[in-house]
Amino acid sequence: MHNQFPILLRPATQLYGSLVQLRNTLFDRQIFKSWKSPIPVVSIGNLSAGGTGKTPLVDWIVKYYLSIGCKPAIVSRGYRRESKGVQLVSDGQRILLSSNEAGDETAMLAWNNPDAIVVVAKKREDAVTYIATHFAQRAPSVIILDDAYQHRQIDRALNIAIINAEEPFFEAKMLPEGRLREPLKNISRADLIVLNKITNQQKADAIMKELENNGKPIVNARLKIGELTCFSGELSASDDTLVAENLNVLAFAGIASPESFLASLSKEGINVAAHRFFNDHEPYSVKKLRSVRNEAEAKGLSLITTEKDYFRMLGRPELIRILASMPCYYLKIETDIFAGKETMQSMLKAVIGK
């Protein structure tokens, strides 16, 4: 039955693919129109459903713009947020919403970039209009659309697509049979391609060779480990570097690619004695988290999770209280662009006229 399952999904996959291509054709022929933002727009997205390292790349781009004296704004739908309508997450001076109101990834971006304006809305055009209206006296220089490769309703000055080098690029299939949101050939719509999560250069080179047929600039990137942060228990942040190498943990997360999280922990020298994984963006309940805690306690392990999962829990104080008396960590993940950085920086500058 397991081998037959993809075959059963194939009609739905073919229907989905046809509808996606029809929609793209209508935009290509300008039957469907793209709205022109009054503020320059950079879009960052992917062809597959999660797991490409998009959020760390958005963070990298926001920090780059801030480093050159440019005021950026971030627009997101705030996936699985509990709030409705257009919501101001950060005005570039204060964080105004919790992670459950803003969405875990959006809250994380806001907290890590306190000088950036952050807005969530179901319709991104509404968010851009809100920014242009409410921040007219201190308008941002650029708006970054998070996860918007398929969102063609807004025109963009720079369209960035991310490809996960660790996924089976040449055998990738459309949803629901696979993880592709649209066919691989639609990568041609990008102005810049980021081949991310590279760990095997030979494998990456094979994908690069295929991508080069599009004639678009290609950036090579990988994920690198950032800070290990202790957010509960008796250990302080100053102890983190000392304990990391001998840390025995139960790892838990609700992300699209938990395997890459385990690989990062292993690279850091952390011993993962057990793990519990949930669906991407899956909300934590008291029951689920208590079960995770109980297992860790029974095995004499500390707990470790991703930064995104930490922010998801942070919006609900009752969840943090469950973990309050035992050592709990989260691991920051950052983007490391090791080839093509100058090209990317040049294209980002061109958007704002520098």
Regarding pTM above 0.95, the answer is no
DSSP string, 206-233: HHHHHHGGG---EEEEEEEEEEEEEEES
Task: Please compute the mean of the pLDDT values over residues 287-313 and round it to a whole number.
Answer: 94
Residues of the chain with CATH 3.40.50.300: 5-222+336-351
pLDDT at 246 over 80: no
Q: What is the mean pLDDT of the chain?
A: 91
Q: 247 or 291: which carries more pLDDT confidence?
A: 291
For residue range 180-222, list pLDDT tens digits in order: 999 999 999 999 999 999 999 999 999 999 999 999 999 999 9
pLDDT digits (tens, 9 = 90+) for 81-127: 999 999 999 999 999 999 999 999 999 999 999 999 999 999 999 99
For 22, 112, 113, 343, 344, the CA distances from 69, given in Å and listed in that order, are: 41, 17, 13, 19, 17
Q: Considering the domain 234-326 in this protein, what is its CATH number?
A: 3.40.50
**How far is it, in rounded angstroms, from Cα 112 to Cα 221?**
20
| Local confidence band at 234 (pLDDT 50, 70, 90 cut-offs) | low
In the predicted structure, residue 29 carries a pLDDT above the cut 50: yes
Closest CA to 73 of 52, 93, 53, 50: 93
CB 154 within 8 A of CB 35: yes
Q: Any alpha helices (H) in 168-276, and if so which ranges?
A: 201-211, 240-244, 258-267
Instruction: Check residue 241 and give its pLDDT.
Output: 44
In the structure, what pLDDT confidence band is assigned to residue 331 with cuts at 50, 70 and 90?
Answer: very high
Q: Read off the pLDDT band of 283 (50, 70, 90).
A: confident
pLDDT confidence bin for 71, thresholds 50/70/90? very high
Rounded distance between C-alpha atoms, residue 156 and residue 153, angstroms: 10
Q: Residue 76 in contact with residue 146, Cβ under 8 Å?
A: yes
- pLDDT at position 236 is 41
Looking at residue 51, what is its pLDDT? 81
- Class of 5-222+336-351 in CATH: alpha beta
Cis upstream peptide for 283 (omega within 30°): no
pLDDT at 237: 42
pLDDT 10s digits, 140-171: 999 999 999 999 999 999 999 999 998 888 88
What was the pLDDT predicted at 171?
Answer: 86
> Between residues 83 and 243, which one has the greater pLDDT?
83
pLDDT, one tens digit per residue, over 6-20 is 677 888 999 999 999
pLDDT of residue 105: 93
Whether 215 and 324 have beta carbons less than 8 Å apart is answered as no
Whether residue 227 has pLDDT greater than 50: yes
pLDDT score, position 322: 93
Residue 68 sits at φ, ψ, to 5 deg, of -100, 15
Q: What is the DSSP string of 88-146?
A: EEEESS-B-S-HHHH-HHHHHHHHH-TTSEEEE-SSHHHHHHHHHHHTGGG--SEEEEE
If you average pLDDT over residues 331-354, what whole number do you get?
95
With a pLDDT cut of 70, the percent of the chain lying above it is 95
